[in-house]
Structure 1
Amino acid sequence: MNDHDGQSHAGHSHGSNANESKVLIAFVITFSFMVVEAVGGAISGSLALIADAGHMLTDAMSLALAYGAFRLGRKPADIKRTFGYGRFEVIAGFLNALTLFIIFFWIVYEAVKRFTEPKEILTGPMFIVASIGLVVNIAVYWYLTRGDSEHVNIKGAALHVMGDLLGSIGAIAASIAIYFTGWTPIDPLLSVFVSLLILNSAWRLLKNSLHILLEGAPSGLSASIIETHILETIPTVAKVKHVHIWSLTSGSTLATMHIALKPAADPRSTVKSVEQELDKKFGIQHATIAIDWDDVDSQCAVQ
């Protein structure tokens, strides 16, 4: 068990370091181009570009927050925080989702203003900046989603970048349409449409991170599933109750439960078997197993 745990912790540490490096590099690229896109949007007068720059600003902020969360997550547990600081990663994912909602409402507000007060748009600079932005966002998204793409912090950052990518496509389409037709309302219309595309993803991320913060059971797991599996696979267990399962952060599931032993069962070996089965079947590497002695037969071998 010790060797297995050592390998698991080493793998987790390696994955966290890789994710941390990805987030830092993505932040540098995103922040740099955000400045370029904001200037391009101001010069061309395009709301689509300004909206995309706004997305990239929140991206840069969320990536910086994610990087800080990874750094804090490596801090060891202390007397006040016995589980360490790993949950900062989930908080970062939750805040990332909230910023996506804020940006959406801001874009809708700006779009309504553009309908009542149309502005001249320079399609040349708009097209060039949006095209460069598309290439940059594709590169950053590809880089972020290599490896551990299901990590809540990486997923949150990737969703932001996906919003930027769609924003760049919208800005390119708007610049082409305005150049050939002169119909400027397409610029704010496409801005709102792009924001709607990422709203569903933002909602899923918000629910996922909030579910972890509220210590909900991981997806696909429930107390009844664990109870049934333990009773079917560990012959010395008579009863399983008071099962609680939750995620500390992405990829780190914890559990507590009470078990009753069958007659002549060895308590130590039974608890060890339950711990091993939880790890093997459900990936639960941190489990607290209590023996319910009120339900233990008097013939049980206490050692």
Structure 2
Amino acid sequence: MITVAEFLGGIFSGSLALLSDAIHNLGDSAAIVMAYVANRISKRGSNRSKTFGYRRAEILASFLNALFLILISVFLMVEAIKRFSNPEPINGSLMLIVAVIGFLANFVSAGLLSKGSKNNLNIKATYLHVLSDALSSVGVIFGALMIQFFKITWVDPVVTMLVSIYIIWESIPLLKDTTNILMQAGPNLDYKTLDCDMRKVDGVVNVHHIHAWLIDENRIMFSAHINVEDRMLSEIEPIYRQLEELLKTKYHVDHVTLQAEVTRGKESPIFTNKIKDV
């Protein structure tokens, strides 16, 4: 309701700053709804078409939300630049009333969420979203006061620019992180130490063709080829178990796939650029 009120207030008052704040509120509301829906989807089990399950539904939702916020913010900044050369009349009193209502609603919501945010990451994320909405509303209130009492209309596009820049600043890290996960970027692991730790396991001669990637922001997938002495498969399995325990406890890997070899790839580096060796 607050978002609708700010949209209507922005349209009828002629304030871009109020519209940008409404976009911020809409983006945060959409983020919460999309996160909830994506979380429900992500709990589905794996099947023939999605062998890793639906964990990336949440990542895709976050990516789309961040992209949407950035595009809308850029549009508002372009409109704000146009307002500098072609100013339009603004109803400062209506802008002020709607901005104050928006601030109070967000402030109360943040207060209700603050206690639960200490022990729950999901609530904490929602709390930070609502708190940022309240802070952006402060900027709109300031702009409305300048327009109402000093007739300084250029402050409206200035506030719009500031709020839009703030939204982009918040969204770019999220867009970067989600893009990295969707592109199967490697997690932040100490691969040199990891390689040494794996070689210390009795029976492991060499480690090569390491691949590590993220299914979501928390789950790490890992695969590697290990060179071992020529022995029976039943003697290899205890080595697998030791390596899996090492990777899961020290490096927080969720899923480990290992391929044992005797001489094949023994001189290969731990990483490779050859697609056929993936």
Interval containing the TM-score (normalised by the shorter chain): 0.7 to 0.9
TM-score (norm 2): 0.81
In structure 1, the partner of 2:21 is: 52
Q: Which of 205, 209, 224 is the equivalent residue of 1:257?
A: 224
Structure 1 residue 125, shift from structure 2 partner: 3.1
Structure 1 residue 163, shift from structure 2 partner: 5.7
Aligned partners of 2:117 and 2:226: how far apart in 1? 41
Structure 1 residue 93, shift from structure 2 partner: 1.2
Q: Are 2:218 and 1:230 equivalent residues in the alignment? A: no
Aligned partners of 1:211 and 1:134: how far apart in 2? 35
What are the superposed Cα offsets for residues 48-97 of structure 1, whole Å, 9 maximum, x if unpaired? 11111122233333333222211211111111111111111111111111
| Structure 2 SS opposite 1:249 | coil
Aligned partners of 1:260 and 1:48: how far apart in 2? 62
Give unpaired runs (5+ residues) of structure 2. Answer: 266-278
TM-score (norm 1): 0.75
In structure 2, the partner of 1:217 is: 186
Aligned partners of 2:74 and 2:101: how far apart in 1? 26
Alpha-carbon RMSD: 2.9
Aligned partners of 1:217 and 1:145: how far apart in 2? 30
Identity score, percent? 32
Corresponding residue pairs, total: 259
Q: Greater shift after overlay, 255-264 or 188-197?
A: 255-264
Q: Which of 253, 259, 268 is the equivalent residue of 1:290?
A: 259
- Asked whether the equivalents of residues 33 and 133 of structure 1 are also in contact (C-alpha less than 8 Å), the reply is yes
- Asked whether the equivalents of residues 37 and 49 of structure 1 are also in contact (C-alpha less than 8 Å), the reply is yes
- Asked whether the equivalents of residues 240 and 257 of structure 1 are also in contact (C-alpha less than 8 Å), the reply is yes
In structure 1, the partner of 2:142 is: 173
Aligned partners of 1:102 and 1:73: how far apart in 2? 26
In structure 1, the partner of 2:66 is: 97
- Asked whether the equivalents of residues 24 and 167 of structure 2 are also in contact (C-alpha less than 8 Å), the reply is no
In structure 2, the partner of 1:240 is: 207
What are the superposed Cα offsets for residues 239-290 of structure 1, whole Å, 9 maximum, x if unpaired? 1111111110121111011112358894121110110111111111211112
Structure 1 residue 208, shift from structure 2 partner: 0.7
Q: Which of 41, 49, 56 is the equivalent residue of 1:72?
A: 41
Structure 1 residue 107, shift from structure 2 partner: 1.0
Structure 1 residue 36, shift from structure 2 partner: 1.8
Q: Greater shift after overlay, 176-185 or 77-86?
A: 176-185
Structure 1 residue 140, shift from structure 2 partner: 5.0
Give unpaired runs (5+ residues) of structure 1. Answer: 1-31, 297-303
Aligned partners of 2:88 and 2:70: how far apart in 1? 26
Q: Greater shift after overlay, 165-174 or 110-119?
A: 110-119
Aligned partners of 1:211 and 1:159: how far apart in 2? 23
